[in-house]
Amino acid sequence: MDLEKGTAFNENSPRYMCCCNSIHVKTGTLIIAVLAVIGLLLNFVYYAVVRSHSINLASSIGSLVIGGAVVACVFYALRTQRAAFLLPYMILQVVGIFFIFGLIILCIFALAGAEFPQTVLRQALGEDKISPDIKMISIILIVSFAINIALALWFLWVVYKCFVFFRDQANFAINNTTNVGYTVNVSPVTYKRQT
């Protein structure tokens, strides 16, 4: 925890900066949350308009509800400065990274010529027969999934740094309260800062 002259919490420490120390982690997390809302809406519109099958629409609505709840938690965490509400986003990001990693493995098997991944790709793309350019499709998917994982890891890192910022801020507030004759028994993760 960074202290200036031992008495004040240093919110502008380089520890709490992101994007090459150009913006604060709270601002970075806010940008990520706004991008997540835009992504959720684009995903919903794509499945509602372009691929309007009932199964795809139902899964799109499900992902919109879950994603919306998680992003709402991020906005609430930023508003109240409570670290615990950033945890759902971080958990969902980790699950998404593992899912995309599994898709990369499927694409590698399809690239090697295995039959099962080609069937999965055919169903995912909505085609009756897979094009002969399965190797090119697999390579493009692998590259796009790798870029997606890189961005997800970066976003996860920024949100984690924001989590650490809120936790350190709560620790400082708890440890520097005036002595009122009893011990404050509060977790820094769930501490609600009084504003």
For residue 175, is it within any domain?
no
Contact by Cβ (8 Å): 169, 11: yes
Q: pLDDT at position 31, please?
A: 96
For residue 184, is it within any domain?
no
Give 1's pLDDT tier (boundaries 50, 70, 90).
very low
What's the pLDDT tens digit per position in 42-60?
A: 888 877 777 666 566 677 7
What is the number of structural domains in the chain? 1
For residue 5, is it within any domain?
no
What b-and-e string marks burial along 64-93, b requiring 16 or more CB atoms within 10 Å of the CB? Answer: beebeebbebbbebbeebbbbbbebbbebb
For residue 85, is it within any domain?
yes
Amino acid sitting at position 7: T
Mean pLDDT along residues 153-173: 93
Mean pLDDT along residues 163-176: 87
Q: Answer whether residue 70 shows pLDDT above 80.
A: yes
For residue 1, is it within any domain?
no
Which residues span the domain enclosing 80?
17-169
For residue 3, is it within any domain?
no
Helix (H) or strand (E) holding 17: strand 17-18
Q: pLDDT at position 58, please?
A: 72
For residue 180, is it within any domain?
no
